[in-house]
Amino acid sequence: MQRRKFLTLMSAAGLGAALSPASANAAATTSFNGHPEAVGVLHDSVRCIGCRKCEEGCFKVNGQDLPAFKNDPSAQRPDFADLEVLNKKRRTNCNTYTVVNRYQTEKGPVYRKLQCNHCQEPACASACFVKAFVKTPEGPVVYKPELCVGCRYCMVACPFYVPTYDYGSAWNPLVYKCTMCAPRIAKGQLPGCVEACPKEALVFGKRTDLINIARERIQKNPELYDAKVFGESEMGGTNWLYLSPVQHTELAQPELGKTSAPELTSGALGAVAMVAGIWPVLLGGAYAINKRRTKMAQEEAKEAVTTAVATTREEAEAKLQKALAKAEKDKDAAVAREVKKAREEAIQETEAKFAPPQAPDGESTPEDASGKEGDA
């Protein structure tokens, strides 16, 4: 059973990669729609008033783990009552897991909260070469700092510009991003931001329920909402979902396809196996063909030389016989000596003429391929 399963997997992977690089996944007829019990958060920009209480709630939970505050209890805390910061575009960084930005729209100012979206098929986890990011079946995408090499490919890969880096640390720089308060969720508590929201603009729950809630709100008040639930399908879907009174792109949400990050790279990864499998055959074949051709050329040359030498010998013999006959006829010893000399000369001359050409690295075996040819 085990063996059969292995073979099935192998052939599925191989065939998948061979037939179409875009579907190197063995499961071409099924699709992953997220872990069924996974939780998430719905942010409703129609309800959000931009009070920054969520930022404060986040800081209360996570502040002591952030680089600027970790080893320095006296470090000045951010002033979350200051709403002036909403005038400029902000992003998360290694000391802030979440920020709220304000966007001016035809429906007035609209606020959007930024933090990790906890993708169903995260680009960061797919990109990480030490598996420092893990998508938990419960929903949060969690980070394992003890594995992180600090290559920052997760930051390149993330379509939402979420992972941030502590560039200031010399000895333990790490990636920082929202954890969805995974430890609190495990204890049955709400994420810090959700708990702090005074307007119920943030709803925590099972992702499947959140989608239903979002649809219901759109259906009840279609004039208030854009019809799209952002995050439902973006790059395979995210566990944070967004409702907006205007098009999501007006709130600087990126335009993303439905293809998940792992699907984007699976074709290229599948091709690796193809190269490993077939390159040795092609390259070894090229080597063998060249070796064989060299050998054939040598054999041909050798044969030509042998034939030529034999022919000359015969000719010289005939000449000798003729000369001997003549000498016998004349009974002249001096002439006979001359004839013998002529024979020797003829052989020498032809041998020089048809001497085997310098073999071009002839029967070279791999080991002497680099050592030979010193004659060149």
Partner 1 sequence: MNTHDNGAKNTLLTPGNVITAIILLVGLFITVLRFTKGIGSVTALDDNNPWGIWISFDLLCGVVLAAGGYTTTSAYYLFGLKHFRSAVRPAITSAFLGYAFVVFALHYDVGQPWRLVYPIFVSQGTTSILFEVGLCVFLYVTVLAIEFSPAVWEWLGIKKLRSLVLPLTIPLTILGVILSTMHQSSLGALYLIAPSKMHPLWYSSFIPVFFFISSMFAGMSMVIFEGILAHKGLHGKMDALHLKQADGVVLAFGKASAFVMMGYLFIRFYGVAMDNNFKYLFTGYGLWFLVETIGFVALPAFLYAMGARERNVSLMKIAAVITVLGVVLNRFNVSQVAFNYQLDASERYFPHWMEIGVSVFVVTLIITAYRFICTKMPVMYEHPEYKDAH
| Letter string b/e over residues 355-367, b meaning 16 or more CB atoms within 10 A of that residue's CB | eeeebeebebeee
Q: How far apart are CA 271 and CA 13, in angstroms?
A: 10
Q: How far apart are CA 371 and CA 352, in angstroms?
A: 28
Using CB under 8 A, pick the residue from 75, 246, 271, 346 that binds partner 1: 271
For residue 170, state whether it binds partner 1 (rule: CB under 8 A): yes
Whole-number minimum distance, CB 319 to partner 1, in Å? 40
Q: Which two tokens stand for residue 191?
A: 């994420």
Q: Which two tokens stand for residue 305?
A: 């030389």
Parallel, antiparallel, or unpaired: how do β-strands 141-143 and 240-243 relate? unpaired
For partner 1, the closer CB: 340 or 372: 372
Q: Which two tokens stand for residue 185?
A: 């969720």
Q: Which of residues 356-375 bind partner 1 (CB under 8 A)?
A: 360-361, 366-375
| x-marked contacts with partner 1 along 188-227 as a string, rule CB under 8 A | ----------------------------------------
Q: Which of residues 111-150 bind partner 1 (CB under 8 A)?
A: 123, 125-132, 147-150
Alpha-carbon dihedral sign for residues 247, 250, 253, 254: positive
Look up residue 109 and give its amino acid: P
CA angle 264, 19, 8 (to 5 degrees): 95
Whole-number minimum distance, CB 305 to partner 1, in Å? 22
CB atoms within 10 A of CB 190: 16
Whole-number minimum distance, CB 292 to partner 1, in Å? 10
Using CB under 8 A, pick the residue from 137, 222, 254, 357 that binds partner 1: 254
3-state secondary structure of 236: helix
Name the one residue in this structure whose structure tokens are 């930051």.
155
| x-marked contacts with partner 1 along 45-64 as a string, rule CB under 8 A | --------------------
| x-marked contacts with partner 1 along 286-305 as a string, rule CB under 8 A | xx--xx-xx-----------
Whole-number minimum distance, CB 155 to partner 1, in Å? 4
Stretch that binds partner 1, among 29-37, 160-168, 201-209, 306-314 (CB under 8 A): 160-168
Whole-number minimum distance, CB 255 to partner 1, in Å? 7
For residue 265, state whether it binds partner 1 (rule: CB under 8 A): yes
Whole-number minimum distance, CB 268 to partner 1, in Å? 4
Stretch that binds partner 1, among 2-10, 209-217, 250-258, 322-330 (CB under 8 A): 250-258
Using CB under 8 A, pick the residue from 15, 83, 156, 318 that binds partner 1: 156
DSSP characters for 209-221?
A: HHHHHHHHHHHH-
Half-sphere exposure of 245 (CA within 13 A, CB side): 18
Using CB under 8 A, pick the residue from 8, 11, 49, 279 that binds partner 1: 279
3-state secondary structure of 365: coil
Using CB under 8 A, pick the residue from 12, 264, 309, 336 that binds partner 1: 264
Half-sphere exposure of 353 (CA within 13 A, CB side): 12
